[in-house]
A and B are shown apart, each in its own frame.
Chain A
Amino acid sequence: MANYKDIINGLKDKQGGIIEAFHALQREYNYIPEEAIAEAAQVFGVSQAQAYGVATFYSYLSVEKRGKYIIRMCESAPCHVAGADEVIKAIEKHLGIKVGETTADGKFTLELTECVGQCQATPVITVNSEPVFNVSAAKVPEILSAYK
């Protein structure tokens, strides 16, 4: 794994680039570690409180450790009427966790999201930002079995 200091310093010349740095960190670790927030604050010349304020403002960014695969269920209105609630229940049951939790083996984290812009094939989930289309409760076990 790349060192968080190298990731942040590689972007230091981007004006206002702290969010880009957070994205790069999250791509590497699946979340933004606390020590990386402190480093980013220093590199981009803002207080640690401000850097933390930015990291926690955006729902796509997480400051908490997450699993290898992050499942996000779209619950916006078009996915809602297409049956998002049943899909959430099926995922929760299949993985034995609730929304916001990570499986004990650290493999899956389950989150809710608003529309991910793939509304031609509702309901939609994303797994590590890759969309999965036309999901149904019945298809959940098969879909998730693809992630090793």
Chain B
Amino acid sequence: MAEEMRIVLRNYGKIDPLKIEDYLAQGGYKALEKARSMGQAALIDDVKKSNLRGRGGAGFNCGMKWSFAASATADQKYVICNADEGEPGTYKDRLIMENDPQSLLEGMAICAYAIGANQGYIYCRGEYPQVIEILNQAIDQAKAQGLLGDFDIEVRSGAGAYVCGEETALIESIEGSRGEPRFKPPFPPVQGLWAKPTIVNNVETFANIPVIVDKGGAWYADIGNPAYPGTKVFTLTGDVNNRTFFEVPTDTTIRALVFKFGGGIRGGKKFKAVQIGGTSGAFIPESLLDTQVAFDAMSAIGATLGSGATFVLDETRDLVDVSTRIAKFFEHESCGKCAPCREGTARMHELMKKLNEGKGSSKDVALLEKLGRVMSYSCLCGLGQAAPAPVLTTIKHFPADYNAKLM
């Protein structure tokens, strides 16, 4: 079975995050120097070769994304780090920023060099004021040492809107507007912040970059599952013994996550379900636990890797109750811009509440399935498209929980 492997958390517990000297002593900022000596084209090629794919949920090839922004001509380009981390059960980006902020800044500076940007933003969720403080200090230290060159980074604070994790809503929010997603295309690498070419990458994605540049794309491509190589940080919650975090290669199975790293189910109870990727993830039954956690392996079983949040439930849990709670989340977080999501999330919550209170029938379950299907292809952004997943997958894999509550 796979062992833990720390790339993005390589300095966790080893350095004082507020001392840039510690980061430098671990070889920090050597990768930025190397990147600048490689030249932009060769650098982007090497990132492409690593096959690093976004750790924020969509899994897009990072080097490819950078190449779009690099080839765009504009008087100004931007690098944005998505540190909104709103997906319930997720705290991996906080771990990176709290324990090793410089590796994020170095990753952003490498990206800035690759695409030709001189302004960066870190959009950090408002619920992390302590992290914002750390980031600001880290930026000051990197600037004082002259490490960032002409690249400037500013931290902007989110304000409690889950949808602002979606990259175009995030951009709207930095511009000072309501965080409503934009129609795509144009995609941010072509037209993003203030209509300029913009790269948006997740914290964990950026934290991988210095190591990839240092050791080479080929080295990275060889780790874990070849279609989604490298490592992934998982945060375990719910009914597992070890409610903590792990960084593992992407060929690790869900079973190993829950039973090896998670230490199995609390209180000697039996496993019932696991939801991976955050609150918009699918609920996965025992029979699918031997799936690898890599992006496409998860898609193949109708699940997602998402943020890596891993929410485990034991045999005593009522999935109708849990899914009702989740349906309320989406009703609350829908931004209201598109009708299928605004209406759909409200109706979904209404139907789930009815079922959860024992007042629903099998007709309501059938209606939920239809509503979920329609939402998954008609909503404007990933929020509404993914919102039905927990409901649809619990209906599919755990029908007994629903049947027990029907009128």
Contact = CB atoms under 8 A, between A and B. Distances in A.
Interface stretch (B20-28, B222-230, B324-332, B398-406): B324-332
A75 B325 contact: yes
Contact of A58 (B159, B311, B313): B159
Contacts of A18: 176
B360 interface: no
Contact of B94 (A46, A50, A58, A117): A117
A34 to B, nearest CB: 18
Contacts of B174: 16
Given A114-B329, A115-B87, A20 B156 contact: yes
A77 interface: yes
9 contacts: A23-B157, A59-B332, A60-B158, A77-B275, A78-B88, A78-B311, A114-B160, A114-B332, A117-B90
Q: How many B residues are at the interface, by size bracket?
A: 35 or more
B322 A77 contact: yes
B237 A44 contact: no
Interface stretch (B45-53, B120-128, B345-353, B371-379): B120-128
Closest 5 CB pairs of A and B: A60-B160, A58-B159, A16-B176, A76-B88, A115-B88
B267 to A, nearest CB: 13
A9 interface: no
A61 B159 CA distance: 7
B269 interface: no
Contact of B160 (A44, A59, A82, A118): A59
Interface in B116-173: 125-129, 156-162, 173
Q: How many A residues are at the interface, by size bracket?
A: 35 or more
A57 B164 CA distance: 11
Interface of A: 15-20, 22-23, 44, 46, 50, 53-54, 57-61, 75-78, 80-82, 113-122, 126, 129
B159 A23 contact: yes
Contacts of B162: 114
A75 B325 CA distance: 8
Contacts of B245: 120
B201 interface: no
Contacts of A78: 88-89, 237-238, 311
A98 B123 CA distance: 33
Contacts of A58: 126, 158-161, 179
Nearest to A23: B157
B333 interface: yes
Given A114-B88, A114-B332, A117-B91, A81 B239 contact: yes
Contact of A16 (B89, B175, B332, B333): B175
B86 interface: yes
Given A61-B160, A81-B238, A120 B244 contact: yes
